[in-house]
Amino acid sequence: MDKKKMSVPLVCHGHSRPVVDLHYSPLVPDGFFLISASKDSTPMLRNGETGDWIGTFEGHKGAVWSCCLDTNALRAASASADFSAKLWDALTGDVLHSFDHKHIVRACSFSEDTRFLLTGGFEKLIRIFDLNRPEAPPIEIEHSPGSVRTIAYLHSDQTILSSCSDSGGVRLWDVRSGKIAHTLETKSPVTSAEVSKDGRYITTADGSSVKFWDANHFGLVKSYEMPCNVESASLEPKLGDKFIAGGEDMWIRLFDFNTGEEIGCNKGHHGPVHCVRFSPGGESYASGSEDGTIRIWQTVPSNPKEKEGPVPNGPSKEVKPITAEEIGTKLEDLKVGRE
């Protein structure tokens, strides 16, 4: 089957333990970047297009569960099992500040305006750190029903999204009141939550289900059952017409957003897939696995003019090469045109 045909990804080595989180920067003047979190305690920064290693952030003493880049790709943040979250200079790799916690920090996220950093973890608290005053005590939002697994801002930093490791659902917190404004109900704990680039959808993965929610009215837009338990899902950011999911069967699957039909499937990892993310332009996507590698897959052939069929991943190696006879015909046509 064509859709099962495997493409050759860019394989990024470097981590010695499982890769548990990935985050792309937006497109900036220097391109775009990919940061990875791993249980080996060292987040890594890469060129988002080529996968080339740029640098390693050294300083944590425990597994790093979450990582992110700010909207300018100038600073990075990480959340760790060493009871700390760190703010890094993404250009030099230096630690700008270390935020101490009282338990494992599982998630972190920058605000859209890059002024604040969100953290959450085993303390069942959401903390908001003002990066202009890093020494100041953070704002604390209490009463999370469980250990915080994922966290993100939406609605121009007016709302905080969070999910828990030990209970289903996604909570939407009003930043001003510090209270839950709405809950997106799921049967299983949500292991991945992503706000779409245009702010229209929230993509979640829970159990063997990928769901898409209206980010403004909070209704369930689409829900698709996956072939296995999935840990992460991501919506294509440019057209929003496809999504990816990865999980326990080690495959990264590409689906049609409107129908849920599987349109591509790639295997290369040698362990469960913990995280998948589309690049900011949607031309490729990355996956991180228990096997300690990151793989970057092409969404479409590298040259759209050469696209002759549904080859959802990989460079356009299936394109039929032009023959000598066809070249001769083209030259004759050119000659006739000139006459």
Taking residues 200-225, report their average pLDDT: 97
Question: pLDDT category, 6, cuts 50, 70, 90?
Answer: low
Taking residues 163-187, report their average pLDDT: 96
How far is 49 from 306, CA to CA, in rounded Å?
20
Nearest to 43 by CA among 58, 32, 54: 58
Q: Quick one: what percent of the chain has pLDDT higher than 70? A: 86
How far is 105 from 316, CA to CA, in rounded Å?
42
How far is 12 from 25, CA to CA, in rounded Å?
17
Indicate the SS3 state at residue 152. Answer: strand
All domains in the chain, ordered by first residue: 226-300 (2.40.10)
Question: pLDDT category, 59, cuts 50, 70, 90?
Answer: very high
Whether residue 221 is predicted with pLDDT greater than 70 in this model: the reply is yes
For residue 99, the model assigns a pLDDT of 98
Whether residue 54 is predicted with pLDDT greater than 80 in this model: the reply is yes
Whether residue 200 is predicted with pLDDT greater than 90 in this model: the reply is yes
Average pLDDT, the chain: 89
For residue 143, the model assigns a pLDDT of 87
Whether residue 162 is predicted with pLDDT greater than 50 in this model: the reply is yes
Which one is predicted more confidently, 193 or 328? 193
Per the DSSP assignment, residues forming a β-bridge with 148 are 164
pLDDT tens for residues 77-91? 999 999 999 999 999
Cα–chain-centroid distance for residue 21? Answer: 7
Whether residue 339 is predicted with pLDDT greater than 90 in this model: the reply is no
For residue 8, the model assigns a pLDDT of 85
- The structure tokens 């004759």 sit at 332
pLDDT tens for residues 268-304? 999 999 999 999 999 999 999 999 999 999 996 444 4
Burial group, residue 33, by CB count within 10 angstroms (0-12, 13-18, 19+): buried
Q: 235: number of CA atoms within 13 Å, CB side? A: 26
Report pTM: 0.87
How far is 72 from 70, CA to CA, in rounded Å?
5
Whether residue 126 is predicted with pLDDT greater than 70 in this model: the reply is yes
Q: How many CB atoms lie within 10 A of CB 233?
A: 29
Which one is predicted more confidently, 113 or 7? 113
For residue 325, the model assigns a pLDDT of 54
